[in-house]
Structure 1
């Protein structure tokens, strides 16, 4: 029996979400549209099989095909990033990026060992040891001692000189490169030098820009890193999963950390879907896609700057831009709410100097998803105009109702300009194809 017949309620929710994605502009940097082939793999009979352990060393029988699949995925992962299998290994079993990071930390560190990652308001990620005051926000800060490093507030760029000074005082066992809202490429050679100066491992989390590394649009972290983690659903455009690459000398530590330390059995349907996407990521077409993603992001950033908005670092090298709204008196929460009301999806995001993640001063915008739908530079000129109108409407509403978010959201419901813009956005978006539609 098909889903529509067996569970019309769930089917209806899925169809409604499909319509939201079709008729809206997805600008969240961590989202993308995966292919029908990937979705078919995710929905296959592989979800029925349990396979704790690694190929050739399972705790369950009946894994002949699963072993073939996992080895295929490992080989494709190494090939996609141009890695020598005598120097590098990869674990393809991680459920998500945060799980992959914690598994890597577990492999490299003992409880209470020290780590350093980019601070969340500077563009870092929760799983890189984030804490706020006395609150250990993430398990990586609860089980390890964390000291974040920051960007230069004037340039928005990682302050490598200050990082080096901090590292020599703190002496971490693990140094982390990569972030979730940092729009520039990384100086991995400098990070390696700093790590070596204090005897630390260097881990690069390229979850956001892994697809751009695979396409050689950004520098590769592999020459200088001991471990590299990445999700597979952002710029790689695959399913929700993650990969952990490691120097061969760390193989047993990383594999043991993934299972049995952190996870149970792998999700074989996800591994199949990752395999499908890795094959696509090795093609010329995917490289052209990655180039277009960056071109679109640069175009969007340039137009917003021309409109006198503040873009952190004055642009981007990647798929994302970080828009600082504080100079115009708005919060990320308000612009996100108004964008939602007009079928534009962004996410509120902390910027350097913010004191609260609940009322951050910026929004993060990514171009990966819309590029997957065929958007090019001229389309992002239109997107920029839509975003500018969102800001102008937001400022007008705020001037009328005051600064409370609840009053702001209430005013959206009856605002004529909001309804008119929503119709325009839906009309513009609906003509572009949506990859992966299967129902």
Structure 2
């Protein structure tokens, strides 16, 4: 992948860009929130729309010259409505966090109450962590997964909501490997007269493909990222009913953002079109299948998985049982040296620091995009086990690196 125009102006940045392409080509990207977009999406995101200010919404802009920006944004909106069956869609949020911010700003006052999943149990910073604006502006309490099963404790959530009386309940998670029962959470919200925000950032593509139940039409608000399992332009999305449409739009602009990143909106439009093709459902199904195979392989090698397995695109490994002296940070570092990139992650009942926790999170979206099938994923799982079994053994890491090189050659990226 050439960057000749950049190189002519700025060789240092060109070197970094080309280095990043080579890094992605020659290592296995297993961070669950990452994927590889198509070259069509890359083209759209690098387009001349990066030059265009388009504050406002299609047909109601604060600048002239927006006819093509309007066309692109309408395409993104219409395609998202078709994908998800949503009444109203806003495609302007710069990220999933800013999509969540828009809902909070639209519906809450400072000091209002949020009930969300604890970060160490699989939640997200933007759901109420004290380091995030949510934890600083709102009163936040958090529910948990069942420590014995690793599944969401729906009864505990109901009890907590009855006691806390939140203004909004947040569902949808960043490190939860099981399917979410949206209707059960909606019933809790109804019982305590709370709003319900379902954050599908990680599973946007799985929901779009129909391989994970959808909260659209169940929850009051559905937010998501558009660059993870759905492989569209990088950013966020908010879906809601017409009842809340104007409030959400005003909270995105001018409430929380200025001009939309129209080149990213173009990338979203292209990615949504790709997701409407029949092949995308096959991709989503294989993503889940690959995660299942990965989990089974790691289990066969003695690793403990939170909840015992997975229903979606990721597995969460608790190293405390099988490798009590190895932290998630140790595993992450050793695996990256062997060419496998994933992340350390907290686990339910975490006993270490969030900066060097007891688990690792591994996802299959990017490898599935490259064409990895059951057999290839099984090989990857075996490589992960070998490295974590001997994180300080350079010979093992070198041998695994050779296997990674072979896999990368067999399943090339951006040829």
- Per-residue deviation, 1:419: 2.8
Q: Distance in 2 between matches of 1:39 and 1:227?
A: 29
- Per-residue deviation, 1:14: 1.2
- Per-residue deviation, 1:8: 1.5
Q: Distance in 1 between matches of 2:202 and 2:372?
A: 20
**1:7-406 → structure 2 map (5 Å cutoff):** 7-83=10-86, 88-130=87-129, 136-327=130-321, 328-329=323-324, 330-355=326-351, 356-394=353-391, 397=392
Question: Does the 8 A contact of 2:386 with 2:396 survive in 1?
Answer: no
Question: Does the 8 A contact of 1:23 with 1:427 survive in 2?
Answer: no
Unaligned runs of 5+ in 2: none
Q: Distance in 1 between matches of 2:411 and 2:236?
A: 29
- Per-residue deviation, 1:238: 1.5
Question: Does the 8 A contact of 1:20 with 1:343 survive in 2?
Answer: no
Q: Distance in 2 between matches of 1:323 and 1:428?
A: 23
Question: Does the 8 A contact of 2:182 with 2:215 survive in 1?
Answer: yes
1:282-327 deviations in Å (ceiling 9; x for gaps): 1110000000000000011011112221001111110001000111
Count of residues in correspondence between the two structures:
409
1:149-204 deviations in Å (ceiling 9; x for gaps): 00000000010101101001110000011000000111111111100111111110
Question: Does the 8 A contact of 1:24 with 1:430 survive in 2?
Answer: no
CA RMSD of aligned residues (A): 1.2
Q: Distance in 1 between matches of 2:74 and 2:355?
A: 43
Q: Distance in 2 between matches of 1:271 and 1:19?
A: 26
- Per-residue deviation, 1:4: 2.2
Q: Distance in 2 between matches of 1:128 and 1:393?
A: 37
Bigger shift: residues 417-426 or 36-45: 417-426
- Per-residue deviation, 1:424: 2.9
TM-score by length of 1: 0.91
- Per-residue deviation, 1:80: 1.0
Q: Distance in 1 between matches of 2:134 and 2:8?
A: 44
Bigger shift: residues 299-308 or 89-98: 299-308
Q: Distance in 2 between matches of 1:297 and 1:72?
A: 32
Residue 400 of structure 2 is matched in structure 1 by: 421
Question: Does the 8 A contact of 2:85 with 2:216 survive in 1?
Answer: no
Partner secondary structure for residue 252 of structure 1: helix
Q: Distance in 1 between matches of 2:283 and 2:403?
A: 26
Partner secondary structure for residue 147 of structure 1: strand
Q: Distance in 1 between matches of 2:227 and 2:207?
A: 14
Q: Distance in 2 between matches of 1:13 and 1:220?
A: 39
1:241-286 deviations in Å (ceiling 9; x for gaps): 1110011100111001001111000000000110000001011100
- Per-residue deviation, 1:58: 1.2
- Per-residue deviation, 1:20: 1.2
- Per-residue deviation, 1:11: 1.0
Partner secondary structure for residue 50 of structure 1: coil
Residue 434 of structure 1 is matched in structure 2 by: 413
TM-score by length of 2: 0.96
Question: Does the 8 A contact of 2:335 with 2:388 survive in 1?
Answer: no
Q: Distance in 2 between matches of 1:288 and 1:420?
A: 33
Q: Distance in 2 between matches of 1:429 and 1:386?
A: 14
